[in-house]
Chains A and B, each alone.
Chain A
Amino acid sequence: MFTVSRRRFLVFSGVAGAAALAGGATQVPWSSLFDAASTTPLQPGQGVLVVVTLYGGNDGLNTVIPASDPAYQKARPDLAYQPHEVLDLGENLGLNPGMTGLKSLWDNKELAIVRGVGYPVPDHSHFRSMAIWQTASPTTSVPTGWLGRWLDATGDDPLRAVSVEPVMPPLLAGARATAASLPVNGLKMPTGKLNQAFAALGQSQTGEPELAARVATSMTDLQNAARVLGGAVHEDGNTKPNKGQQGPLAQQLAVVAELVEAGVPTRAYSVSMGGFDTHADERGTQQDLLKELDGALTPFVNRMKGTQRGQQVVVLVYSEFGRRVAANGSDGTDHGTAGPVFVMGAPVNGGFYGQQPSLTDLDNGDLKESTDFRSVYGTMLDGVLGTDAGQVLDNFPTRVDNLLKT
């Protein structure tokens, strides 16, 4: 058991990051694919998935709020929103008042909210629960992320998944392929002889230790990523902002918007935002965070509506868990379980999916999940990425019906 728990620890604590999970990665043979990719841009009908990870465990009950439920008010005397404060969504639920942009998307039927999303036997560790979400493996520890396995299953090309974050998230690590990463200010490569020599450092070397080989691979990936992606981002770092946006997530999404509009053949993007671990003084902090999230997502979704390629984009927003139903006495909440998942974009049928978890039928103070997160992933794999989800999700059978337009 030591190996397993240690590996879990490495994986889930962030002590070993993404690609460390994917042992035995080989040289990624994608220079040839790259040439094809640059001459064959994103095709009409090819869906693009943008995964937004909220780190820290966003409090779902104060995001999609059952404000008129007496049990909610009773559980959180100082933390609860009143019915008149929330943005009414119907079915006795309302959005956090910081999320006015998403409310307008909801009113236009462009925002779907899947309620009570979780997994069996929930874990209250950030690292463990986030790893479960990112690997889509709730019971056993696996070394690959769900989008990494999708990469593995569909041809290794790391360019087809791109992370716009400083450190690669585990969800993008496959056994053979790992996604490319791009800083928000683009890849401004050196020129001339220096870059030729820099590129030459990425050549593989027979008999080299594995980690050294991985360094070399990443340098070759860098050259290719710069050729395909670098040009799409303004080299002075002034990526055209989405209207009215601020904060790192907005910057990341602005890069994604440019890449999509430029026709880069990437099918999956990963972006993220942290800070949701609100154990204390939660109300103001979380509302500010949700406002920042709303201010990043809404202009992005609206911008994507404006182009043919943008209309192929679906955004998925999740966090590793919700929080306890009852407040904790420091005007915050401790780690909990199921929470809402947002899905938005032109291909999405707006509205509620899944059952709202009961506030009175609890599991040791926590919400009971009503929708397995893998059914959301399966829907994304089948409907957006056009890949049979079977091998990626270990044949998990259910989907969220009607979530996507057909």
Chain B
Amino acid sequence: MRRLLDRFGFGPGPGDVDAAVTRGFAATAAGLLNPPADVGVAATPEPDLGPEPQRPAKGDKTAKQQFAQAVQHQEVTLTSWWLDRMVAADAPLAERMTWFWHGHFATSDQKVRSPRLMQRQNATQRSLATGQFTALAKAMMVDPAMLIWLDGQQNKTGAANENLARESMELFMLGVDRYTETDVREAARALTGWVVDRDTITAQVVPRRHDNGSKTVLGTTGNLDEGSFVDVVLAQPKSPEYVVGRIWSRLVCGVAPPPQDVLERLVAAYGANRDIHATLLAITQEPTFTDSAQTLVKQPVEWVVGLMRALRVRPSQLPARSGAALLTGLRAMGQVPFLPPNVGGWPSDTAWLTTSAGLARLRVAQLLAEHADLSTVSGTASANRLAATQSLLSVDQWSSRTMAALRQVLDTPPQLVALAACAPEYVVSL
């Protein structure tokens, strides 16, 4: 049950596991997948980032600096808002899947340089997060931030730029080794002609820049455009297992692919409609999902959001300095939303377990414990504090190693809770 709340959300708050156990597994899964109106979401409306910062003229150093500051400011506003939304959402699956798609269609503001465009992409991913993958993939081909990120704007007839075409097939829709270099070159032609208007946050195809000739991609010949390109790629026999496998790798297990029979059932659920909702439901119905082997190292954002949900700490209610320290901590752990390292997204599992990230994790946990109401721990006798901490963080069971460690700080509840959040039993979603 706790695994379901971990993987289809960001982990339980205090009491959530007990409540879910009362409802039952299938009913809890159904509730996560078909949530009622979400008060937490309504209370965290998208921020208005203001107008697009004035782009500096070449060589104007002051303007360049002002632009960088304005972008930085908007980036922090947007990132803090999203973290706050992830913590506030009563039904977290929509945010969890938006977070998944952000990693899947990994786009970084480091190159886009427009938090407003990143916000638009984020909203698009959210609105299509559990719908049909076809619609999401088509939306991403003409998403303004994506077009800038993968040089779609430079891709025009007679002067193709392959970046978006290649990564779309390799990373977004099909997987490496399942297409040829010729397919890449032809696909790039299908994607020609799109230009972005940063002020209106829109992208449009300019007919004279679009290549109307015949192209052949993956054996299909015709006057392909971005929509028919997506249709051709997603119709490849290997595409469904690729997309399903990506979801599995982030929600169930990153080290091993699903067993063949499980994969076949999930692909069947994904089906001709490329239905993400149905795929997720099918995952919850697989006995393998609850198998003890399916462990995942929480990504830094998942760990920190889960911890804030457990401690009832809202990023928006932190003092400005602590809010900044939270983002610094995420950076030190290696993961800041809207700034993935490259188009392949963030790494998984043990890549997060570097020596330096371990220290950053403790610092962030200390910061959050300072701002949390720990009365359920501090208000109880020392002898009961291990159990109170276990319940606060919804950990199934402390190992004897962790109990021995935590006993050393029983008299300091903030340290106790911070250390507990760094215990292997909490860093890994078991």
Residues of A within 8 A of B (CB): 2-3, 5-6, 8-10, 12-20, 22-23, 25, 55-56, 124-128, 163, 166-168, 178, 180-183, 187-190, 193-194, 196-198, 200-201, 203-205, 208-219, 221-222, 225-226, 274, 277, 279-281, 328-332, 334-335, 364
We find that the number of chain B residues with CB closer than 8 angstroms to chain A is: 76
Q: Are B254 and A10 in contact (CB under 8 A)?
A: yes
One digit per residue, 1 when the CB lies within 8 angstroms of any chain A CB and 0 when it does not, for chain B 335-351 equals 00000011111111111
How many angstroms between the C-alpha atoms of A206 and B151 in the bound complex?
51
State which of A13, A197, A330 has its C-beta within 8 Å of the C-beta of B155.
A330
Stretch at the interface among B32-40, B76-84, B120-128, B421-429: B421-429
Residues of A within 8 A of B95 (CB): none
Name B255-284 residues within 8 Å CB distance of A. Answer: 255, 257, 260
Q: Which B residues are closer than 8 A to A by beta carbons? A: 150-151, 153-156, 158-163, 166, 170-171, 175-177, 181, 184, 241, 245-246, 249, 254-255, 257, 260, 292-293, 295-297, 331-332, 334, 341-360, 362, 399-402, 404-406, 408-409, 412, 415, 419, 422-425, 427-428, 430
- Highest count of chain B CB atoms <10 Å: which of A196, A204, A209: A209
A201 close to B355 (CB less than 8 A): no
Is A279 within 8 A of B154, CB to CB? yes
Known contacts A197-B419, A215-B428, A329-B158; decide if A16 and B351 are in contact (CB<8 Å): yes
Residues of B within 8 A of A15 (CB): 246, 249, 254, 344-345, 347-348
Given contacts A20-B350, A22-B350, A200-B404, 16 further A-B contacts (CB under 8 A): A16-B249, A16-B348, A166-B332, A166-B357, A182-B356, A197-B415, A197-B419, A201-B419, A208-B424, A215-B428, A218-B353, A219-B358, A222-B356, A328-B159, A330-B161, A332-B161
* Interchain CB contact under 8 A, B350 and A211: yes
Chain A hits for B162, CB < 8 A:
279, 328, 334-335
- A124 touching B181 in the complex, CB below 8 Å, given contacts A2-B241, A19-B353, A166-B356: yes
CB–CB A126/B161 < 8 A: no
- Nearest CB to that of B340 among chain A residues? A14
> In the complex, A106 Cα to B150 Cα: how many Å?
36
Contact A197 B249 (CB under 8 A): no
Bound-state Cα–Cα, A362 to B430, Å: 52
Residue of B nearest to A181 (CB): B354
In the complex, what distance in Å separates the CA atom of A187 from the CA atom of B351?
A: 18
**26 pairs from A and B in contact (CB 8 Å cutoff):** A10-B348, A14-B345, A16-B348, A19-B350, A20-B348, A124-B184, A126-B344, A127-B176, A128-B176, A166-B334, A188-B359, A193-B415, A194-B409, A194-B419, A197-B415, A201-B419, A212-B295, A212-B427, A222-B359, A274-B341, A280-B151, A328-B160, A329-B160, A330-B151, A330-B154, A335-B162
Taking CB as reference atom, which chain B residue is nearest A159? B355
Q: A166-B334, A167-B354, A279-B151 are in contact. Are A209 and B295 (CB under 8 A)?
A: yes
B355/A200 in contact, CB under 8 A: no
Complex contact A215–B154 (CB within 8 A)? no
Closest to A203 in B: B401
Asked if B430 and A209 sit within 8 Å, CB to CB, the answer is yes
Q: Given the complex, which residues of B lie within 8 Å of A198, measured CB to CB?
A: 362, 405, 419, 422
Q: A329 and B342 in contact (CB under 8 A), knowing A17-B347, A201-B423?
A: no
Contact A18 B347 (CB under 8 A): yes
Residues of chain A within 8 A (CB-CB) of B359 are 183, 187-189, 222, 226
Taking a contact as CB atoms under 8 Å apart, the answer to whether A5 and B177 are in contact is yes
Measured CB to CB, the closest approach of chain B to A5, in angstroms, equals 6
A contact residues around B405 at 8 Å (CB): 197-198, 200-201, 203
Q: Which residues of A contact B351 (CB under 8 A)?
A: 16-20, 167-168
Nearest to B347 among chain A residues (CB) is: A17
A183 to chain B: closest residue by CB: B356
Selected from A167, A190, A213, the residue in CB contact (under 8 A) with B424 is: A213
Closest CB in chain B relative to A281 CB, distance in Å: 8
Shortest distance between the CB of B356 and any CB in chain A (Å): 4
Closest Cβ of chain B to A210, distance in Å, is 8
Q: For the complex, what is the distance from the CA of A178 to the CA of B354, rounded to whole Å? A: 9
* Residue in B150, B160, B161, B295 whose Cβ sees the most chain A Cβ within 10 Å: B161
Determine the distance from Cα of A23 to Cα of B355 in the docked complex, in whole angstroms.
Answer: 18
B154 touches A6 (CB 8 A): no
Closest A residue, CB atoms, query B257: A6
Q: A277 CB to closest chain B CB, in angstroms?
A: 8
Q: Is the CB of B160 within 8 A of A20?
A: no
Chain A residues with Cβ below 8 Å from B354 are 163, 166-168, 181, 218
